[in-house]
Amino acid sequence: MTHVTDSPRTLLRTCPLCEAVCGLELTLDSDDRITSVRGDQADPFSRGFLCPKGATLGHLDGDPDRLTGPMIRDRATGAWRTVEWDEAFTVIRERLPRITAAHGNQAVGLYLGNPNAHTVAGALYAPLLIRALGTRNLFSASTADQMPKQVSSGLLFGDPLTVPVPDLDRTDYLLMLGANPLESNGSLCTAPDFPGRLKALRKRGGRLVVVDPRRTRTAKLADEHLFVRPGSDAYLLFGIVHTLFAENLVTVRVEVNGLDDVRAAAAEFTPDLAAARSGVAAETIVRIARELAAAPTAAVYARIGTCTAEFGTLTQWLVDVINVLTGNLDTPGGAMFATGAALGIVRSRPFRTGRWGSRVRGLPEAMGELPVATLADEIRTPGDGQIRAMVTVAGNPVLSAPSGARLDEAFAGLEFMVSVDRYLNETTRHADVILPPPRILQSPHYDFALLNFAVHNYARYSRPLVPLGAGEMSEAEVLARLALAVSGQEPRSASPRLPGLDPLTVVDEIVIAGTLHKAGMADRRGELRGTDTTEQRLDLMLRLGPFGEWASEPEAGSDWRGKLNLQVLLDNPHGIDLGPLEPRLPGVLRTASRKVELAPAEMLADLARLRARARAEQPELVLVGRRQLRSNNSWLHNVPPLVGGSNRCTLHIHPDDAARLGLDGLAVVKSAAGTVTVELEPTEDIMPGVVSLPHGWGHGDSTQTVARAHAGVNANVLTDDSLVDVPSGNAVFNGVPVTLTRA
Ligand SMILES: Nc1nc2c(c(=O)[nH]1)N[C@H]1C(S)=C(S)[C@@H](COP(=O)(O)OP(=O)(O)OC[C@H]3O[C@@H](n4cnc5c(=O)[nH]c(N)nc54)[C@H](O)[C@@H]3O)O[C@H]1N2
Ligand SMILES: Nc1nc2c(c(=O)[nH]1)N[C@H]1C(S)=C(S)[C@@H](COP(=O)(O)OP(=O)(O)OC[C@H]3O[C@@H](n4cnc5c(=O)[nH]c(N)nc54)[C@H](O)[C@@H]3O)O[C@H]1N2
Ligand code: SF4
Ligand SMILES: [Mo]
């Protein structure tokens, strides 16, 4: 890449690595290399916060192992060669449509990984690929992550994207379960400097209670930490609900249906039962219920530890049931709904799941997706509708999905695979073609998804900081061309009606025209600003959004009401403070009743499972995960300053368990799904009876040099894809029964 610049220069950009959306101030040298990264002090939301991952963005960006051009694998020799884009797309256009022609659309599976939630390409152009493939075999990291929260929100509020977040900056009491934002910086709760916000909560006299089988850094910061047996959060929360009813502490401030059904359901799930299952004393559960009811404002927040568990959806439902019963839903200081600035999908019908089922296990669809826990089944089980080819975009399911070893084998048996990814890794090594996105700095950034889950209304847009060079392609264009190729179309036939335009422009023009038409503004195309059609789409979404200058009735009450468009964001490169969260009910409800449906039939039906488990024996030893400050799922282990030290793949175990089992050094960990051998790290910070292994490791065969030197083991060899949270189909990573022996 050669272009002339003044050197060095300072540029602003949002960090794309996690949900905290921190503003960054980058210094680039005359070769466009990042020489320093600082937190952007003038960002009104992140106020200069920076974590170790953001700080090493330059190393990630300059990684010599990052793929810089399309690659094709020779199936006979296994050798990779770098090719021109046209050759890569030609191979796809020739191979993939032949498979669908012979076996139908279901023969191709699509997996969308986590970074799609962070990129403009993922937000605006992945849907195009979904449509082009027309397959029901659509999978994503969502069913290894937050699907329980989305199903629960869909049932309660009618829309799975209407997810309440704790009003962190104003709450007086935060009950947090299964989250460790001091290391993760938060999830489904966009809050840059989450640690600082928690400290501020305590400083203003608020109370933080953390429920976790590990004494995490977050737990150490809290007023109170409760060790909880993995997978038992639903009992614990039911114990709180039971107490709220039993002690007449219920104050409902929003319109709801089903209050009596919830009361009836909670009758059998007493604090005593909760104590027996969770290990938290019944008196403590009762006291927490009273504290939540008595606090001027309070919020319950539960994340990955509780989502990726056997009763994930029930747990997420109970979280918001408590927020409702304590009068804290949709009120300042409670659990509130953010107002994203960009126009989102407007849902007309109430959400439901199970509109279709997966072929092999009949698992219900949710949000149009099937559970990733059944992806290996769909590839391996012969018959009509079997997956024979895969497309993956920004995902590494061999390391991130349950029963990873099974999936690894399944991918190896595919007839054809395409991956859009920065790296040759454990998943993409099975691809025939890899299409890499350009450098992070060459992509625009707007958080279409995450700003809908922010604890403060905010917007920020970053233009690409470095132009694309010869032979480089934006990820938006990669996806647009891939969508054409999988349908067997040549780029020039993108649209007969718009001849001479590149595929990306064609797609954007169609979307823009459709959106304008729906808004009754077909004549205003010429007013949209932006250097390309991607920016013009953002401009349109901002103008029509809740703060937008074209909003018919701006809902949001900030000073920016009726003003936003792309130019305003460009004029405010540090981001815009759109004000504190505001009450949004009943406006955002999409239930048929236009009330909060507090007792959805799907949740009441799932109680049978919870009841049955209450009688089951507790396994002697169970596995949970953990996140590490200097990791990001599977893909930052090739960044030298991030690996090593505390950032290693070790099994945390209580010293009493290690002694009882006569273990030290290495141990063999065995589950129903598989076996790994891993180094033990005894610590008092974990409950007896629980061991913890971080996910995303297992780079033993990697061609990434640094990652291979810090390989670790794949935690998902141990997790079992035959288990799911039934209502959402979500994978179960926590509470996996294991046995340990000496290595
Ligand atoms: N540094 C870093 N940051 C990240 C990521 C990363 O890999 N590294 N990943 C990003 C992603 S994709 C996500 S989704 C978010 C997730 O962000 P968080 O939800 O904060 O995830 P974790 O840090 O894994 O914290 C989950 C906690 O749940 C606990 N836990 C396990 N089982 C149970 C249980 O049954 N009950 C309860 N109550 N607790 C349990 C674990 O001990 C752990 O401390 O983090 C994001 N941020
Ligand atoms: N045992 C266990 N397993 C888990 C979890 C757990 O807590 N425990 N957590 C789960 C959670 S919350 C999540 S979100 C999933 C994550 O699951 P995945 O999304 O499948 O895995 P990642 O490791 O995030 O992989 C991201 C991939 O995207 C590539 N990439 C990075 N940036 C870009 C980009 O801009 N464009 C493109 N095209 N590719 C890019 C990376 O190289 C990498 O290959 O893992 C889940 N798996
Ligand atoms: S907290 Fe997240 S968004 Fe902020 S600098 Fe770190 S990785 Fe980037
Ligand atoms: Mo995630």
Using DSSP, state whether 356 is helix, strand or coil: coil
Using DSSP, state whether 625 is helix, strand or coil: coil
CA torsion angle 294 297 303 308 (round to 10): 40
CA 191 to ligand 3 center in whole angstroms: 10
DSSP structural state of residue 637 = T
CA 438 to ligand 3 center in whole angstroms: 20
| Number of Cβ atoms within 10 Å of the Cβ of 616 | 8
For residue 633 and ligand 1, the question of a CB distance below 6 A is answered with: yes
CA 152 to ligand 4 center in whole angstroms: 17
Q: Give the pLDDT band (50/70/90) at residue 30.
A: very high
Among 14, 21, 22, 59, say which to mutate for ligand 3: greatest number of ligand atoms within 8 Å of CB.
22
In whole angstroms, how large is the CA radius of gyration of the chain? 25
- pLDDT tops 80 at residue 396: yes
- pLDDT tops 70 at residue 497: no
Instruction: Give the C-alpha separation, 200 to 49, whole Å.
Output: 14
| Number of Cβ atoms within 10 Å of the Cβ of 371 | 28
By alpha-carbon position, which residue is closest to atom 6 of ligand 3?
51
For residue 144 and ligand 2, the question of a CB distance below 6 A is answered with: yes
- pLDDT tops 60 at residue 5: no
- pLDDT tops 80 at residue 173: yes
List, in sequence order, the alpha helices (H) in 453-545: 475-486, 503-518, 533-544
Among 18, 140, 184, 316, say which to mutate for ligand 1: greatest number of ligand atoms within 8 Å of CB.
184
CB 185 within 8 A of CB 18: yes
By alpha-carbon position, which residue is closest to atom 5 of ligand 3?
54
pLDDT in tens, 250-262: 999 999 999 999 9
State the chain's mean pLDDT as an integer: 96
Q: What is the distance, to the nearest Å, from the Cα of residue 295 to the centroid of all Cα atoms in its chain? A: 31
Among 17, 184, 187, say which to mutate for ligand 3: greatest number of ligand atoms within 8 Å of CB.
17
List, in sequence order, the alpha helices (H) in 104-232: 120-124, 126-133, 147-157, 181-184, 194-203, 217-221
Average pLDDT over residues 319-336: 98
At 494 the pLDDT is 53
Residue 397 CB partners (closer than 8 Å, separation 6+): 111, 113, 139, 141, 144, 372, 375, 404, 407, 427
CA torsion angle 596 601 605 611 (round to 10): 30
By alpha-carbon position, which residue is closest to atom 2 of ligand 3?
18
Q: Which residue in this structure is represented by tokens 């406006």?
A: 587
At 502 the pLDDT is 84
For residue 638 and ligand 2, the question of a CB distance below 6 A is answered with: no
pLDDT in tens, 67-122: 999 999 999 999 999 999 999 999 999 999 999 999 999 999 999 999 999 999 99
Average pLDDT over residues 537-561: 88
- pLDDT tops 90 at residue 492: no
Q: Give the pLDDT band (50/70/90) at residue 6.
A: low
pLDDT in tens, 270-311: 999 999 999 999 999 999 999 999 999 999 999 999 999 999
- pLDDT tops 60 at residue 201: yes
Among 15, 24, 37, say which to mutate for ligand 3: greatest number of ligand atoms within 8 Å of CB.
15
- pLDDT tops 60 at residue 4: no
Instruction: Give the C-alpha separation, 452 to 666, whole Å.
Output: 44
For residue 141 and ligand 2, the question of a CB distance below 6 A is answered with: yes
Helix (H) or strand (E) holding 495: none
Average pLDDT over residues 120-144: 97
Q: Give the pLDDT band (50/70/90) at residue 499.
A: low
Q: What is the distance, to the nearest Å, from the Cα of residue 682 to the centroid of all Cα atoms in its chain? A: 30
CA 523 to ligand 2 center in whole angstroms: 42
Among 142, 147, 627, say which to mutate for ligand 1: greatest number of ligand atoms within 8 Å of CB.
627
CB 473 within 8 A of CB 88: no
Question: Which residues are paired to 679 by β-bridges?
Answer: 666
Q: The pTM is what?
A: 0.97
- pLDDT tops 50 at residue 123: yes
Average pLDDT over residues 144-167: 98
Average pLDDT over residues 20-44: 97
For residue 285 and ligand 1, the question of a CB distance below 6 A is answered with: no
Tokens in use for 618? 């507790």
CA 415 to ligand 3 center in whole angstroms: 38
DSSP structural state of residue 182 = H
CB 518 within 8 A of CB 527: no
Peptide bond just before 586 cis, omega within 30 deg: yes
CA 178 to ligand 1 center in whole angstroms: 7
For residue 113 and ligand 2, the question of a CB distance below 6 A is answered with: yes
Residue 461 CB partners (closer than 8 Å, separation 6+): 444, 445, 446, 538, 566, 569, 570
Which ligand ends up closest to the CA of 396?
Answer: 2
Which ligand ends up closest to the CA of 22?
Answer: 3
Which ligand ends up closest to the CA of 184?
Answer: 1
Q: Which atom of ligand 3 is nearest to the CA of 55?
A: 5
For residue 181 and ligand 1, the question of a CB distance below 6 A is answered with: yes
At 2 the pLDDT is 42
CA 462 to ligand 1 center in whole angstroms: 28
Average pLDDT over residues 487-511: 78
- pLDDT tops 50 at residue 1: no
For residue 542 and ligand 1, the question of a CB distance below 6 A is answered with: no
Question: Which residues are paired to 72 by β-bridges?
Answer: 81, 433
DSSP secondary structure, 246-263, as one string: HTT-----S-EE-HHHHH
Indicate the burial class of 3 (C-beta count within 10 angstroms; 0-12, 13-18, 19 or more).
exposed
CA 21 to ligand 3 center in whole angstroms: 6
Among 18, 114, 303, 450, say which to mutate for ligand 2: greatest number of ligand atoms within 8 Å of CB.
114
Q: Which domains does the chain have, with CATH numbers?
A: 9-62+440-579 (no CATH), 71-136+368-435 (3.40.50.740), 149-337+589-608 (3.40.228.10), 619-742 (2.40.40.20)
What is the CB < 6 Å shell around ligand 3? Answer: 15, 17-18, 20-22, 50-51, 53-54, 185, 192
CA 52 to ligand 3 center in whole angstroms: 8
At 228 the pLDDT is 98
Average pLDDT over residues 582-588: 95
Among the listed residues 386, 361, 380, the one whose alpha carbon sits nearest the alpha carbon of residue 371: 361
